[in-house]
């Protein structure tokens, strides 16, 4: 009997650390910071502009990636995208913009 209790205690203590890992992980998204004109990675938000994690100001617009310029561009408003297919093109090279791309480098 005492052996079973001992095993139970081992199992319980062994599982203790897992509860933290099960908490939902914040989804990261690439945004275009209209203030610094740079792409930043921040917690995904349903509100736009989203809050910049460093300044705390609402300056983050969803970003789209241009593979030709290898740069993130600020995504136009959704209404603009629906009205004008040309809006989803890179303002510099007119190349197609993608929703996914390499994460921007943090810092300088
Ligand atoms: Zn481009």
The pLDDT tens digits for 22-35 are 567 788 899 999 99
Cα of 86 vs centre of ligand 1, distance in Å, is 13
What is the CB-side half-sphere exposure of residue 102 using CA atoms within 13 A?
8
Q: From ligand 1's centre to the CA of 93, what distance in Å?
A: 4
Q: CA 48 to CA 31: how far, in whole Å? A: 10
Burial (CB count <10 Å: 0-12, 13-18, 19+), residue 5: exposed
Instruction: Give 21 Cα–ligand 1 centroid separation in angstroms.
Output: 39
Convert the pLDDT of each residue in 35-82 to its tens digit: 999 999 999 999 989 999 999 999 999 999 999 999 999 998 888 989
């Amino acid at each position: 009997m005492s052996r079973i209790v001992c095993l139970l205690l081992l199992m319980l203590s062994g599982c203790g650390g897992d509860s933290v890992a099960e908490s939902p992980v914040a989804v990261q998204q690439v945004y275009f910071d209209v203030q610094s004109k740079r792409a930043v990675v921040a917690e995904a938000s349903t509100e736009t502009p989203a809050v910049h994690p460093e300044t705390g100001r609402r300056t983050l617009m969803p970003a789209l990636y241009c593979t030709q310029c290898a740069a993130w561009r600020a995504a136009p408003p959704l209404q603009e995208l629906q009205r004008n297919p040309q809006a989803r093109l890179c303002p510099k090279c007119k190349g197609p913009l993608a929703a996914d791309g390499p994460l921007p480098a943090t810092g300088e």
